[in-house]
Amino acid sequence: MNLMNDEKHYNTIHNYYLQKYQKKVYKIPLNGGFTCPNIDGTVASGGCTFCSYMGSGDFAGNKHEPLKTQFDTIKKMMEKKWRDGLYIAYFQANTNTHAPLKRLKELFEEAITLDPKIVMISIATRPDVLPDDVIEYLSDLNRRMPVQIELGLQTIHQETSDLINRAHDLKCFDDAVKRLREKNIEVVVHIINGLPHETKEMMIETIKHVNTLDIQGIKIHMLHLMEKTKMGYQYKQDPWPLLSLEDYTDIVTDQILWLRKDIIIHRITGDAPSDMLIAPLWTKKKFVVMNEIDKRLRKLNLYQGDYHEKSHL
Ligand code: SF4
């Protein structure tokens, strides 16, 4: 599937879904009321220092409402923009496999029947919360409805991982990808640029490592410092230099050039609720960030994976 063109020099998820389904496909965030083992003490406590009290699901539905109500509310809003779309039931907030298998089955089985236009279920989780019985069940579900697992990595560097309290190591992540892929389950990796003390080279190394794994997609985020997070508090006490828009454009452009050509890019920047964002404020302008990256790739006349392929000649 060739998704790149003169305008877009990388594989966008928009173009991927359009080619696959001939329609706009959008994610409907659902909140299954999960917690996170890195917050509740199961694995560690305190959580990742950048994580908001919404468990990195700041746009997720209201966990006190039934899934159907959550789905219909967001679907109605989305339909104002795209009348004839298809949907992905998306469990985003917190760690969406952190519950007994019986509960996971109840939630996921209900989710896939919420609407006949649902074409996929996407589940965000940590690599250390995928026991064999859960993977076995996801594999069974995947035969009935495509399952996509969004797996948090953020960085391959252990010193950064310790600093932000991820509470798992790289081996755990690599193992989780391998076990999911043995069952043919799609994997989308999350990484964050601009974490404290990381250099451009370190961020490129994260890309080079994920290239070695059988992943199908990636979400690249800029670090957001948000109110009511540990890192936001640390920053307010003792601010440190953050990436500028120019730095970020330069880094992401190079990451795209290093990224394998078959990987689909789901995001090249993220957005935090503006009332919670402390810095960097340029991240509010998502379209400006995307345009700057497009412009730079076009100026270089290079495409996703060009550096990666050259290094393998
Ligand atoms: S694993 Fe995810 S939900 Fe849990 S603290 Fe970290 S970012 Fe938040």
Closest CA to 57 of 90, 14, 97: 90
Can you tell me which atom of ligand 1 is nearest the CA of 50?
Answer: 7
Cα separation of 251 and 85, whole Å? 33
Q: What is the pLDDT of residue 57?
A: 59
Q: What is the pLDDT of residue 1?
A: 72
Is residue 146 within 8 A of residue 121, CB to CB? The reply is yes
Tell which one of 31, 34, 35, 38 to mutate to probe ligand 1, the residue whose CB is within 8 A of the most ligand atoms: 38
Pick from 72-86, 93-107, 138-152, 296-310: least confident:
72-86
In this prediction the pTM is 0.96
312 or 229: which leads in pLDDT = 229
Q: What is the pLDDT of residue 61?
A: 72
Q: What is the pLDDT of residue 129?
A: 98
Residue 9 Cα to ligand 1 midpoint, Å, equals: 31
Q: What is the mean pLDDT of residues 249-271?
A: 96
Cα separation of 300 and 33, whole Å? 46
Can you tell me which atom of ligand 1 is nearest the CA of 124?
Answer: 2
Q: Please, which pLDDT band fits residue 185 given cuts at 50, 70 and 90? A: very high
180 or 77: which leads in pLDDT = 180
pLDDT surpassing 70 at residue 58: no
Residue 57 Cα to ligand 1 midpoint, Å, equals: 9
Summarised one tens digit per residue, pLDDT across range 263-290 is 999 999 988 888 999 999 999 999 999 9
Summarised one tens digit per residue, pLDDT across range 191-216 is 999 999 999 999 999 999 999 999 99
Say if ligand 1 is within 6 A of residue 260 CB.
no
Pick from 52-66, 92-106, 124-138, 293-307: least confident:
52-66
Residue 63 Cα to ligand 1 midpoint, Å, equals: 17
Peptide bond into 239 cis (omega under 30): no
- For ligand 1, atom 7, which residue shows the shortest CA distance? 51
Q: What is the pLDDT of residue 273?
A: 87
Is residue 146 within 8 A of residue 186, CB to CB? The reply is yes
What percent of the chain has pLDDT above 70?
98
Burial of 122 (0-12, 13-18, 19+ CB in 10 A): buried
Q: What is the pLDDT of residue 154?
A: 98
Summarised one tens digit per residue, pLDDT across range 16-37 is 999 999 999 999 999 999 999 9
Summarised one tens digit per residue, pLDDT across range 217-246 is 999 999 999 999 999 999 999 999 999 999
Q: What is the pLDDT of residue 62?
A: 79
Q: Write out the two tokens for 120.
A: 């996929």
Residue 192 Cα to ligand 1 midpoint, Å, equals: 13
What percent of the chain has pLDDT above 90?
90
Residue 233 Cα to ligand 1 midpoint, Å, equals: 17
- For ligand 1, atom 5, which residue shows the shortest CA distance? 47
pLDDT surpassing 90 at residue 54: no
* Mean pLDDT score across all residues of the chain: 95
pLDDT surpassing 80 at residue 59: no
Cα separation of 127 and 170, whole Å? 9
pLDDT surpassing 70 at residue 292: yes
3-state secondary structure the chain: CCCCCCCCCCCEHHHHHHHHHCCCEEEEEECCCCCCCCCECCCCECCCCCCCCCCCCCCCCCCCCCHHHHHHHHHHHHHHHCCCCEEEEEECCCCCCCCCHHHHHHHHHHHCCCCCCEEEEEEEECCCCCCHHHHHHHHHHHHHCCEEEEEEEECCCHHHHHHCCCCCCHHHHHHHHHHHHHCCCEEEEEEEECCCCCCHHHHHHHHHHHHCCCCCEEEEEECCEECCCHHHHHHHHCCCCCCCHHHHHHHHHHHHHHCCCCCEEEECCCCCCCCCEEECHHHHCHHHHHHHHHHHHHHHCCCCCHHHHHHCC
Pick the CATH number of 13-311 from 2.20.110, 3.20.140, 2.60.120, 3.20.20: 3.20.20
Which residues, including other chains, have CB under 8 Å from residue 191's CB and lie 6 or more apart? 153, 154, 155, 203, 206, 207, 210, 218, 219, 220, 221
Q: What is the mean pLDDT of residues 279-302?
A: 96
